[in-house]
Chains A and B, each alone.
Chain A
C-alpha cells in the first residue's frame, strides 16, 4: 500500500508537470495566432449614440468605400437584417468592417471565416479581413435579437 501510494504521488507530479506544460504550450500558440491572425478580433473603433445610428454619421449611410487599396464597410446590424444587405468586394484586398446596432445586440458571423462579432448598441466594432477565395459568404446573426432572429442574414459577394 505504502509503495503504491508513493508511486501514485510520483505519477501525480508528472501529471501536474504535463498539465502546466500543456497550458503554457496553448498560451504560446494562442499568442502566435493572435499576432498572425489577430485582425478578426473585434475591437472598439468608437462609442456611438445608438438612438442616432439611423439618422446621423457613417451608419446612417451604410456603404462600402474603396480607398488606398482597401475596402471600408460601414454596416448596420438591425432587427432583422444588415445594411448594406449585400456587400461586394474583390478577393485578396483587405476589408475593414465597422459594425454597430441601432436597437439590440446582434451577431455578425461571416460563414467560413473567423469574423465573429458580438454587435453591441453603443459600440462600434472593428475587424479587418482579407477574403482569399471568391464566392458568396453569408452573414449570420448568432445572437438572439427578437422574434425574427432566425431570419437575419446578410451577404458578402467576393469577386475574382
Chain B
C-alpha cells in the first residue's frame, strides 16, 4: 500500500512538472556513461604507473586502446553532453518559469539513447578503436560515426528547445533582461550550435560516406581541422554548465550572493565570441596549417582566457561574501566558514581550486612556442583531467547531490560517503594530474601503454608510482560516489514535499537592472553574428584553402 501511494505521488509530481522526468532521464543516462567510462580510468592510471591489467580483461577488451577509446568517448563526449542537456534544459525552464516543449525534450533523449546504443556496438566489438578524437585515416565502423552523429545532433534538439522557450519568454516580456541562469544557458547553446558545425560537417560529409565505402579517401589534415574547430569549444561546452552552477547557484548554496550579475553575463558573452576561433592551438604541430594562422589563433586563445580569469575573481568575491555573511573574520577566515560539510558546495569548491593550476597549464598549451615541448605528451591528459575530470565532473557530482533529490523527491543517501567521494576524487585527480604533467615534461607520450614496455621511460618512475596510487584513490572515490548516486535514485523512500530541495538560485549583490553591460549583452542575435564573423576571420582563409586542395587518403584499420 505504502509503495503504491509513493509511486502515485511520484507519478503525480511528474504529471505536474513533466520536465523533471526528462531531466532525470538525461541525467541518469549521463551518469551511467560516466560510471562505465570511469571503470576504465584506474586502468589508465595503473598503465601510467607501469602496471598492465589489460591481459586480465582479454575476453571483454581486446586492447589498451579499446579501453582508452571507451574511457574517452563515454566520459568526455557522452557524459558531458548529457549533463549539459539535463542541466541547461531544466535550469532555464525554472528560471523563466516556462515549460520546455516536451515532445522535443523527449526526442533529444531518444536520439541520445539510440545514438549511444548504435555507437556502443562497434565500440564494444573493437570495430571502432579510434580513440575519442577518431583521426582519419584510422577508420572505424560506420555505426560508430552514425551513432556519434545522432548523439551529437540530439544536443541540437535540446539547443532549439531552449532557444524556443527563451524566445517565448522574450515575446511575453518585451524589454526585460533575461534572468541570469537562463541567459547563461541560452548563450551556451548558441555557442555550441556554432561550434559543433565543424564536427557535424566532418562526420556527415566525410566520415560516414567514407566508412560506408561511398568515397575512397578523406583528407586527414582537413578532417583534423574540422575536428578541432569543434574540439576546443567543446571543452567550453563541458565547462559552461559548471560555470552556470558556479555563478547561478553556488553563491546561494554557500550562504551568500553573486557579487556581480552583469559581470557573469559579460564572461558568458566573451565565451560565445572567443570559444570557437581558437582551434589551431590544438594544431600547432600540424604541417598543413600556416604559422601566421596559428599565431592568429594564439592571440584569440589568450582572449578566451579573459572570461575565465574574470570568473575566478567574481567567484572568489562571491564566496568571500558568503563566508563573511556566515561570520568569517580576517583576511582568510571566511574560507573556513564556508559550508564544507555540504558535499554539493565542497565539490564545487574543490573543483574550482583544481581549475587554477588547470587554467595555468592551459595558458602554457596555448602559448605557441611552449606547446612544442608538451604537444601529445602525458602533460596534455594531465591538463584536461584537471579541467574536465576534476572541475566539470565535480560540478556535476556536486549538482547531483541536490538535483537528484529535487527531481525524484527522494532524500540523499550516504551524505558522508558523498563528502568523502568528492575529497578523494579531488586528491586522486590532483595527484594524477601532477604526475602526468611531470611525465609529459620528461617526454612520456600520451595514449601509450607504457606498462607494456620494459624500462623505456624509467626516468619517470617516481611519477609513475604517483599514478598508480592515484588510480587506487580514484577507484575508491568512484565507488563511494556511485553508491550514493544509485542508492539515492533506487530507494523507494520519499521526502515530505516541504523538505524536497528547491533549485538554489542565487541573488546578486549588484543586479542587472538599469545596467549598461546587462542591456548590451542581452542583444544576443547581434552578438551571435559577431561570433560568426570572428570564426570567418579566423578560419575562412585556411578552410577555403584546404577545401580547394583536398588530398584524400584511404582508410586503415590497424588495431
Contact = CB atoms under 8 A, between A and B. Distances in A.
Task: Name the residue among A30, A44, A51 with the largest chain B CB count within 10 angstroms.
Answer: A30
Contacts of B558: 79, 103-104, 145-148
A130 interface: no
Given A27-B302, A42-B286, A47-B549, A105 B220 contact: yes
B478 interface: no
Interface stretch (B99-107, B158-166, B447-455, B481-489): B447-455
B366 to A, nearest CB: 9
Nearest to A125: B287
B299 A42 contact: no
B291 A41 contact: yes
A83 interface: no
Contacts of B385: none
Contacts of A119: 287
B127 interface: no
B284 A41 contact: yes
Given A19-B310, A122-B288, 12 more contacts: A5-B510, A11-B317, A12-B314, A31-B295, A50-B553, A79-B556, A117-B285, A118-B285, A120-B224, A120-B286, A140-B443, A153-B456
A41 B291 CA distance: 8
A109 B137 contact: no
A47 B553 CA distance: 12
A144 B549 contact: no
Closest 4 CB pairs of A and B: A146-B558, A125-B287, A142-B445, A33-B369
B317 A8 contact: yes
A27 B295 CA distance: 9
B306 A26 contact: no
Nearest to B377: A142
Interface string A84-104: 000000000000000000011
Contacts of A145: 138, 558
B286 A118 contact: yes
Interface residues of A, number: 63
B109 interface: no
B305 A23 contact: yes
A70 B446 CA distance: 33
Nearest to A14: B313
A140 B336 CA distance: 47
Interface in B288-309: 288, 290-291, 294-295, 298-299, 302-303, 305-306, 309
Contacts of B446: 142
A103 B63 contact: no
Contacts of B376: 107, 109, 116, 118, 142-143
Contact of A141 (B63, B309, B445): B445
Given A8-B317, A23-B306, A118 B452 contact: no
B559 interface: yes
A58 interface: no
Given A5-B510, A109-B443, A120-B287, A150 B556 contact: no
A41 B452 CA distance: 31
Contact of A116 (B63, B220, B372, B553): B372
B285 A30 contact: no
Nearest to B451: A150
A65 B317 CA distance: 62
A42 B447 contact: no
A117 B456 CA distance: 21
Q: Which of A12, A33, A43, A144 has the largest number of chain B CB atoms within 10 A?
A: A144
A109 B317 contact: no
Among B137, B224, B313, B369, the most chain A Cβ lie within 10 Å of the Cβ of B369
Interface in B249-288: 259-260, 263, 283-288
B368 interface: yes
A117 B285 CA distance: 5
B470 interface: no
A34 B371 CA distance: 11
B375 interface: yes
Nearest to A35: B369
Nearest to B449: A150
B63 A104 contact: no
B296 to A, nearest CB: 12
Interface in B48-72: 63, 65
A149 B448 contact: yes
A50 B555 CA distance: 11
18 contacts: A11-B313, A30-B370, A34-B369, A37-B369, A38-B369, A41-B294, A41-B368, A103-B137, A109-B375, A109-B377, A118-B283, A118-B375, A120-B221, A122-B288, A140-B443, A142-B375, A142-B377, A147-B558
Contacts of B295: 31, 34
A148 B554 CA distance: 20
A79 to B, nearest CB: 5
Contacts of A79: 556, 558
B220 A120 contact: yes
Contact of A117 (B287, B294, B556): B287
A122 B313 contact: no
Contacts of A12: 260, 263, 313-314, 317
Contacts of A43: 287, 290-291
B135 interface: yes
A123 B287 contact: yes
B342 interface: no
B447 A144 contact: yes
Nearest to A40: B372
Given A103-B556, A140-B445, A147 B63 contact: yes
Given A120-B221, A144-B447, A16 B372 contact: no
Given A43-B287, A141-B445, A150 B367 contact: no
Given A19-B309, A23-B306, A26-B302, A143 B559 contact: no
Contacts of B36: none
A29 B260 CA distance: 33
A111 interface: yes
Nearest to B137: A104
B509 interface: yes
